[in-house]
Each structure stands twice: as C-alpha cells, then as structure tokens.
Structure 1
Amino acid sequence: MKKYLMVRSPEALITESKIGYGWKHINFSEHENTKSLIKEIIDKNGSIGRMKNQVINFFSLKEEDIVLVPVRKSVIIAKVLGGKFYECDFRSGHGANQIMVEYFKKDGKVIKIPRSRLKQNLESRLKLRTTIADLSKFAPEIDELLKNINIYGDFNITDVFQEKIENSIIAFKNELLKSLRKGNTRLKAGGRGLEELVQELLEIQGYSQVDILAKQNGIGKSDVDIQAVSENNPFLKDLLVQVKHHDGITGKKAIDQLITYEKEEAIDAYKWVITTGNISDDTKNYAEKHQISIMEGDEFVDWIYTNLDKLKISTKESLGIIEVPKLSWL
C-alpha cells in the first residue's frame, strides 16, 4: 500500500533530490529492517520513546510513496525513488539520514503549493510540531493535487507573483527575528514578554490551559517556564517549555533544565526549548538524545507568521507589526 507522509526535511536537500531525518549518531542505511534499527537506537540512546513510529515510518518509505515537505507557508510534494544515504557531517538541520526522491517540478523549478489552497484539515495537519506525520487519511486530496500537477504542469500558481510574495515574507521574517533578538519590540522586559507570546501561540494551537510558571520552580538547576495542557483535544500532548530570549547561541543549560525536571507532570509531557537564538549541532544532538525538541529563532518567527491573523491586536502592536496591502507589479 502506498504511504503518504509529511516530512519536515531540511530545505538544503531539495536541490539534491533528497529528504532527510535526524538521528545523526545512527546510520539508518546500515540496517535491513526496523527491528535492528530500533535496537541500535535503544542501545545507544537508552530509549526511543514517542519517536518510534516516526523512525519506523521514515525508514519504511519505499519507491512510489508520496512525501509532503512543508516550506514556509507552502508545501512541496515528492515521489520516493528509494535508496538510503547517511551524511554524518550534514550541517543544515536534522537531515543526516537521507532518502532519494523526485520533487514535482515545472520548467525545472520545484512546484510550491500554498497551504491556503489546501483543505482545512490537511492544512491543519501540516501545522503539527512533529518531524514526521502519517497523511494516509488525506490520500484522496493529495492524489487530486498530483492529478492537477500531472495534467496542467502545476497547481495554477503564477510563479513570478508567488515568488514576489515569498520574497516579501522572507524579508518580513528576517526583520521580525532581528527585532526580537535585539529587543527592539515593546514586549515586557526580562523574558516575560516572550513567554507571554509563546503562551498566546500555544493557546491559538488549541491548548486549554497554558501557565507561565514561577521562576526556579524545579529542584537545583531544573526549571520550566511554561506548562501547557489540553483537556479537549486528545491529539495535543502536554508540553513543558523552556523559553530563551537570546541573540546568539543557546547552550546546553536550557536542555539540562528540562532533563532534570522530575515533577509528576513531566512524566508524559513533551519537552521543548524555544529560543530566539541559534543552537549548535552538538547541542541539538544532545537534545535529541534526551528526547527534547528544539525551536530556533527562524522556526519561531515561522510559527508567529503562520498565526498572525489570530494574534491579539495588542500583541501585534507590541511586536511592531502592521498589516496593509502592498502592490507588486509583475
């Protein structure tokens, strides 16, 4: 049966006709089946936890399977060709374990489908903060997209106009990230304003209770800034979040604060470090080993941009965001 997956693959691999996944310290291509792969991960990592299904889904991709790769506010589609590769020195995100694919193109350029053109449920599914997700239930809609691409050569997108839009979006995100890092906003000082921004974004995502916890709420160096739970949506997992307002590198301290947090609510919760800064490959590997997810500055502004229409007016004012139409002549 054909598999349909969302894979948050590094964009750097698009030009190489590949998709990539993390686990930099494990060479997937050395394994013939998922059983031996899972065993090596557990032997080296101590556990695999909630990532088991993601690992199995990625490893099991075969020829003719379909992959959707989210990029900014669009999605690109690829057909799996097969063949696994391992690039231990890959430095453009989590993509050391790679699979050859064929991206759907027009005139030599990868076709980007705006997420706004997708049906609501599929668009919402692509917003999940997970690296790999099963899209089998959306197979009919994805097949319809592929039918349009195969018949008309694209998805009725005016490429030049779309490129202008994307360039404007990129410029906006770069300016927003720069302002956040330099403190050139009217968010509350001392990191509180950034925590309140993350709190609002999580509430938009559907979390019914998002609490900013008191400082130094753990024992010793352990600490959590935000706890989020959802009583109404079983697909939203409880979160414990460390929020860092950094202009530069966020180090392992943020990871350690979550690792050592041992209160009862931490047992089944997903742990995240959200920072306006960057995180080194070494720290990313350290976080991955301890099953802690990371959102760096560029991903954070992506999250803000995706939810601009839902943010409070006062929040947008604090960020310095105004929304007015802009003419762009072709």
Structure 2
Amino acid sequence: MRGRPLVVVGASAGGVESLRAVVRGFPPDLAAAVLVVLHTSPGGTSVLASILDRSGPLPATTATDGEHLRPGHIYVAPPDHHLTVTDGHCLLSRGPRENGNRPAIDPLFRSAVRAHGSAVVGVVLSGMLDDGAAGLATITRHSGAAVVQDPEDALYAGMPRAALAVCGHATVAPADKLGPIIALLVGDEPIPDPHTVDPLLEHETAIAELNMDELNDSARPGVPAGLGCPDCSGALFAVTEGPMTRYRCRVGHAWSPDSLLDRQNIAVEGALWMALRTMEDKAALHRRLADSAFERGAPMTANANIQAADELGESARLIRDLLAQEPPGQP
C-alpha cells in the first residue's frame, strides 16, 4: 500500500471537542486506520467511540484486543488499557502507566513507528502537560508526519505546546482544519525511515505491552537520575532521545518532564497535608497534657506543654501558608 496507512491521535483535557472537529473533516474514503487515545479515568466505560461515530463519515468503535486494523475506521482506546499496534492488529494491555496515564499516548505513537516506520501520521490535540510529545518526537525522528493542533485553538494548550517544543516542523492548524490536512498526508508517499533499527523503541513498546521478558531484563536504558518514581518510589533512569530527556523506573513507569513535575507537586502537597495533620494532632495532645498538669497542680509541666503547643501551632501556620501558594512553575 502506498501512502501512510496509519494515523495515531492523542488528546486529553478539552480533547473531545477537538477530536470531533478533526473526524468531521475526514473524507469517507480515508485510506488509513485511525487509532485514538484520550486520557480517561480507569473506572467505568468510555462513550468516545459513539461520539466520534456520530461526528464524521468514518465508523468509530472501541478497540478490542487482537482486532484487525481496517482503513477508514477509527479505533478508540478503552479505559485503563494501553492501545498499541502489532502485526496489523490492535493490542490492549495493562502495562505500566506512562505520564500517570493508562491509556497513554506515547506507547501508541511508538508502536505505530515500530509497525510502519515513516508511514505514520502522528497527531497531538488539546491537553494538559506533555504526554504525546516524546511519542511525536519518535515519529518525526523516523521521518513520519507530525500534526499538532494550534495551541491558540486548543482549550488546553499544554500538550500542543510541548509537542511543538520537540517537533518544531510539525504541521500546525486549528482542529477543524486538521481532517483534510491529515487526509493529504495519508496520501503522500513517505520518505524512507533513516532509523530502521531502534532498540530503545522496541524496548519501551514491549514494556507498555507488558512483555515479561523486557520487564524482567536487568539491562535498562538510560543513566541513574537520582530521582524517585512517584508511582512506586523506585529509582528513575534518565533516557535521552533526540531533544528530550525522559525518565523510566525499573518496573516500567515512564515520565516526561512536565508530567513528572506535576506528580511531584502532588506528592509534595500530600506530604505537607500529612505534616499539618500530624502537627495539629500533636499540638492538641500537648494542650490536653497542659490541662491535666494544671489539674494535678504542676504548672511548670503545664506551661512547657502550652509552649510546645504554641510552637507547633506556628509551624502549622507556616505549612498552611505554603499550601495556599501556587506550586513553582504553575500560573
């Protein structure tokens, strides 16, 4: 088959409306399968496939494990499963979360390159943080086509901006203009893939697919980063690929920089709330001990407990002030 037979699309917050606008612009005879990852919560069911099925000329369904890929069809990742491509089929797995998400965008993009080399169109739409940026960089490094929703058009510009930071030559347009652009790219003849052998790509895609041989392999790409994984507290290894440094732990959790910072902010906030609770509990205990000491006629002990309670109260106030502040790097 000439052209690019595979289109992979990633979206997150604000992505439903962007996806609807994109598929509305697809021609009914699009000569490529379209695989979509939208960040979703792990519980429940997704109605995205039915929404997209009504939004444009192409049929859309939730992907099933082992399903054969057909041109002119949209396959949507189900909740709590990575969606990847292998041997012309969909593969669903509950592999390690990437950027705190399952499904995540980067595993789909990497698997598309593994399956089709440069004959891939990668698309990043509205969303927060930076999932999809590393995957789109992999697509462009293998000479695939990169498309990004105009950040000014996106309800949440984080993901488009992160993608453009590492893929500066991507095609950029509002969501309602992307359907025809993608169709043109599908019809173009791709240039040869200059990186036909990519051990890192193979390794990371296999981890997402829960390949136990890769997960149990003691040889890990990257160098120790001196950081802990927010999901499992394991050591993170820094993996540099093109213009981007990412992080992956021994059991497979993966983080791009913005996603790691965001999760660290959450962890810091949780630790501060725990410290605040502990200090307030301890101050309350000191006050009870002071009351008991006064009743026993032990004023020195009572005053010492009152002083300790006051000091803890001041420390608690400082922590509350920290919690009221925006974390560094946030608007």
The TM-score with structure 1 as length reference comes to 0.24
Structure number, greater radius of gyration: 2
